[in-house]
Chains A and B, each alone.
Chain A
Amino acid sequence: MKKFARFDKNKLILGIAAPVLAIVAALLITSVIILATGKDPLYAYSVMVDFGSKSDSQVWIINKAVPYYLSAVAVAIGFRMNLFNIGVDGQYRIAAFFAAVVGGALTLPGFLQIPIIIIVAMLVGSVWAGIAGLLKTTRGVSEVITTIMLNAIAAAVIGYFLQEGRLAKKDGNLFHTPNLPGSSHFFTIPTMPKPLDGFLVIAVVVGFAYWFVLNRTRFGFDLRTVGQSESAAEAGGVNVKRMIVTSMLLSGAAAGLIGMPTLLGVSYNYGTDFPVGIGFTGIAIALLGRNHPIGMAAGALLWGFLERTGTQLEFEEYEQEIVGVMQGVIVLCVVIAYELVRRYGLRLQQRKVGEELAAQARKTEKAEVSS
Chain B
Amino acid sequence: MELRGITKRFPGVVANHDIDITVHRGTVHALVGENGAGKSTLMKILYGMQKPDEGTITIDGEQVSFHSPADAIARNIGMVHQHFMLADNLTVLENVVLGGEKLHGISGRARAEIIKISERYGLGVRPDVLVEDLGVADRQRVEILKVLYRGARTLILDEPTAVLVPQEVDALFDNLRELKAEGLTVIFISHKLGEVLSVADDITVIRRGTTVGSVVPSETTPKQLAELMVGTELPSPETRESTVTDVEMLKVEGLRLTSADAEGVERTVLDDVSLTIHKGEVLGIAGVEGNGQAELVEAIMGMRDPDGGVITLDGIDISHLPTRTRREDGIGYIPEDRHRHGLLLEAPLWENRILGHVTEKPNAKGRLLDLKAARVDTERIVREYDVRTPGIEVTAASLSGGNQQKLIVGREMSHHPKLLIAAHPTRGVDVGAQAQIWDQIREARHEGLAVLLISADLDELIGLSDTLRVMYRGRLVADADPATITPEELGSAMTGAATGHLAASDNGSAAGPTSEEGESE
B382-400, CB under 8 A of A: which get 1 and which 0?
A: 0000001111011101111
Cβ–Cβ contact A221 & B322, under 8 A: no
Residues 79-134 (chain A) with a chain B CB within 8 angstroms = none
Select which of A11, A237, A353 is within 8 A of B323 by beta carbon. A237
Inter-chain CA distance A350–B400, complex, in Å, is 9
- Confirm or deny: A363 has a beta carbon within 8 angstroms of a beta carbon on chain B: no
- Which of B59-67, B165-173, B336-344, B511-519 is the contact stretch? B336-344
Closest A residue to B359 using CB positions: A218
Q: A225-B344, A235-B341 are in contact. Are A350 and B398 (CB under 8 A)?
A: yes
Cβ–Cβ contact B340 & A229, under 8 A: yes
- Confirm or deny: A174 has a beta carbon within 8 angstroms of a beta carbon on chain B: no
B363-374, CB under 8 A of A: which get 1 and which 0?
A: 010011101000
- Which of A1-9, A257-265, A295-303 is the contact stretch? A1-9
Given contacts A4-B391, A11-B393, A354-B10, 7 further A-B contacts (CB under 8 A): A234-B303, A235-B303, A236-B323, A237-B359, A349-B398, A361-B208, A365-B231
Cβ–Cβ contact A351 & B11, under 8 A: yes
User: Nearest-CB distance from A5 to chain B (Å)?
Assistant: 10
With a CB–CB cut-off of 8 A, which chain B residues contact A353? 12, 389-390, 394, 398-399
Q: A216-B369, A231-B340 are in contact. Are A354 and B323 (CB under 8 A)?
A: no
With a CB–CB cut-off of 8 A, which chain B residues contact A35? none
Q: Which 6 A-B pairs have the closest CB atoms?
A: A237-B324, A350-B12, A236-B356, A350-B11, A235-B341, A237-B323
Cβ–Cβ contact A236 & B393, under 8 A: no
30 A-B interface contacts by CB (under 8 A): A11-B393, A216-B369, A216-B371, A218-B364, A218-B367, A221-B354, A221-B358, A225-B355, A228-B346, A229-B340, A229-B343, A231-B340, A232-B340, A232-B343, A235-B301, A235-B342, A236-B355, A236-B358, A237-B325, A238-B323, A239-B322, A239-B324, A346-B346, A349-B394, A350-B11, A352-B390, A354-B13, A354-B398, A357-B389, A365-B231
- Confirm or deny: A32 has a beta carbon within 8 angstroms of a beta carbon on chain B: no
Residues 386-430 (chain B) with a chain A CB within 8 angstroms = 388-391, 393-395, 397-400
Select which of A221, A231, A365 is within 8 A of B369 by beta carbon. A221
Cβ–Cβ contact A360 & B394, under 8 A: no
- Confirm or deny: B327 has a beta carbon within 8 angstroms of a beta carbon on chain A: yes
- Confirm or deny: B163 has a beta carbon within 8 angstroms of a beta carbon on chain A: no
- Confirm or deny: A222 has a beta carbon within 8 angstroms of a beta carbon on chain B: yes
- Confirm or deny: A56 has a beta carbon within 8 angstroms of a beta carbon on chain B: no
User: Nearest-CB distance from B219 to chain A (Å)?
Assistant: 24
Cβ–Cβ contact B391 & A3, under 8 A: yes
Cβ–Cβ contact B340 & A7, under 8 A: no
Closest B residue to A6 using CB positions: B390
- Confirm or deny: B497 has a beta carbon within 8 angstroms of a beta carbon on chain A: no
User: Nearest-CB distance from A138 to chain B (Å)?
Assistant: 16
With a CB–CB cut-off of 8 A, which chain A residues contact B394? 7, 349, 353
- Confirm or deny: B345 has a beta carbon within 8 angstroms of a beta carbon on chain A: yes
Closest A residue to B389 using CB positions: A353
With a CB–CB cut-off of 8 A, which chain A residues contact B344? 225, 228-229, 232
Inter-chain CA distance A115–B77, complex, in Å, is 75
Closest A residue to B400 using CB positions: A357
Residues 152-180 (chain A) with a chain B CB within 8 angstroms = none
Residues 212-234 (chain A) with a chain B CB within 8 angstroms = 215-222, 225, 228-229, 231-232, 234
Cβ–Cβ contact B341 & A231, under 8 A: yes
User: Nearest-CB distance from A113 to chain B (Å)?
Assistant: 32
- Confirm or deny: A356 has a beta carbon within 8 angstroms of a beta carbon on chain B: yes
With a CB–CB cut-off of 8 A, which chain A residues contact B323? 234-239
Select which of A4, A232, A347, A356 is within 8 A of B355 by beta carbon. A232
With a CB–CB cut-off of 8 A, which chain B residues contact A237? 302, 322-328, 356, 358-359
Select which of B341, B355, B390, B400 is within 8 A of A3 by beta carbon. B390
With a CB–CB cut-off of 8 A, which chain A residues contact B343? 229, 232
- Confirm or deny: A368 has a beta carbon within 8 angstroms of a beta carbon on chain B: yes
Cβ–Cβ contact A354 & B369, under 8 A: no
Inter-chain CA distance A220–B325, complex, in Å, is 18
Interface secondary structure of A, over-half rule: helix
Inter-chain CA distance A256–B248, complex, in Å, is 53
With a CB–CB cut-off of 8 A, which chain A residues contact B357? 236
Inter-chain CA distance A8–B231, complex, in Å, is 36
- Confirm or deny: B474 has a beta carbon within 8 angstroms of a beta carbon on chain A: no
Cβ–Cβ contact B397 & A350, under 8 A: yes
Cβ–Cβ contact B14 & A222, under 8 A: no
With a CB–CB cut-off of 8 A, which chain A residues contact B341? 231-232, 234-235
Residues 270-314 (chain B) with a chain A CB within 8 angstroms = 301-303
With a CB–CB cut-off of 8 A, which chain A residues contact B324? 237-239
Inter-chain CA distance A222–B351, complex, in Å, is 11
With a CB–CB cut-off of 8 A, which chain B residues contact A232? 340-344, 355
With a CB–CB cut-off of 8 A, which chain A residues contact B397? 346, 350
Cβ–Cβ contact A7 & B358, under 8 A: no
A255-279, CB under 8 A of B: which get 1 and which 0?
A: 0000000000000000000000000
With a CB–CB cut-off of 8 A, which chain A residues contact B399? 353
- Confirm or deny: B103 has a beta carbon within 8 angstroms of a beta carbon on chain A: no
A1-22, CB under 8 A of B: which get 1 and which 0?
A: 0011001100100000000000
Inter-chain CA distance A4–B393, complex, in Å, is 8
- Confirm or deny: B70 has a beta carbon within 8 angstroms of a beta carbon on chain A: no
With a CB–CB cut-off of 8 A, which chain A residues contact B326? 237
Tell which of A11, A235, A349, A368 has the most Cβ of chain B within 10 Å: A235
User: Nearest-CB distance from B322 to chain A (Å)?
Assistant: 6
Inter-chain CA distance A318–B208, complex, in Å, is 64
With a CB–CB cut-off of 8 A, which chain B residues contact A225? 344, 355, 358
With a CB–CB cut-off of 8 A, which chain B residues contact A42? none
With a CB–CB cut-off of 8 A, which chain A residues contact B301? 235
- Confirm or deny: A358 has a beta carbon within 8 angstroms of a beta carbon on chain B: yes
Inter-chain CA distance A64–B325, complex, in Å, is 46
- Confirm or deny: B335 has a beta carbon within 8 angstroms of a beta carbon on chain A: yes
User: Nearest-CB distance from B67 to chain A (Å)?
Assistant: 23
A333-371, CB under 8 A of B: which get 1 and which 0?
A: 000000000000011011111101110110001001000
User: Nearest-CB distance from B374 to chain A (Å)?
Assistant: 10
User: Nearest-CB distance from B224 to chain A (Å)?
Assistant: 17
Q: A225-B355, A365-B208 are in contact. Are A357 and B340 (CB under 8 A)?
A: no
With a CB–CB cut-off of 8 A, which chain B residues contact A234? 303, 323, 341
User: Nearest-CB distance from B348 to chain A (Å)?
Assistant: 10
- Confirm or deny: B333 has a beta carbon within 8 angstroms of a beta carbon on chain A: yes
Cβ–Cβ contact A7 & B364, under 8 A: no
With a CB–CB cut-off of 8 A, which chain B residues contact A215? 369
Inter-chain CA distance A231–B323, complex, in Å, is 13
Select which of A346, A354, A360 is within 8 A of B395 by beta carbon. A346
- Confirm or deny: B129 has a beta carbon within 8 angstroms of a beta carbon on chain A: no
Q: A216-B371, A217-B367 are in contact. Are A356 and B390 (CB under 8 A)?
A: yes
- Confirm or deny: B347 has a beta carbon within 8 angstroms of a beta carbon on chain A: yes
Cβ–Cβ contact A229 & B368, under 8 A: no
Inter-chain CA distance A216–B374, complex, in Å, is 12
Inter-chain CA distance A239–B399, complex, in Å, is 28
User: Nearest-CB distance from B28 to chain A (Å)?
Assistant: 30
With a CB–CB cut-off of 8 A, which chain A residues contact B371? 216
With a CB–CB cut-off of 8 A, which chain A residues contact B232? 368
With a CB–CB cut-off of 8 A, which chain A residues contact B393? 4, 7-8, 11
Inter-chain CA distance A365–B207, complex, in Å, is 11
With a CB–CB cut-off of 8 A, which chain B residues contact A360? 388
Inter-chain CA distance A239–B368, complex, in Å, is 18
With a CB–CB cut-off of 8 A, which chain B residues contact A221? 351, 354, 358, 369
User: Nearest-CB distance from A333 to chain B (Å)?
Assistant: 22
User: Nearest-CB distance from B305 to chain A (Å)?
Assistant: 12
With a CB–CB cut-off of 8 A, which chain A residues contact B389? 353, 357
With a CB–CB cut-off of 8 A, which chain A residues contact B342? 232, 235
Cβ–Cβ contact B391 & A219, under 8 A: no
Inter-chain CA distance A258–B183, complex, in Å, is 76
Inter-chain CA distance A239–B208, complex, in Å, is 41
Closest A residue to B12 using CB positions: A350
User: Nearest-CB distance from A223 to chain B (Å)?
Assistant: 11
User: Nearest-CB distance from A222 to chain B (Å)?
Assistant: 6
Inter-chain CA distance A236–B354, complex, in Å, is 9
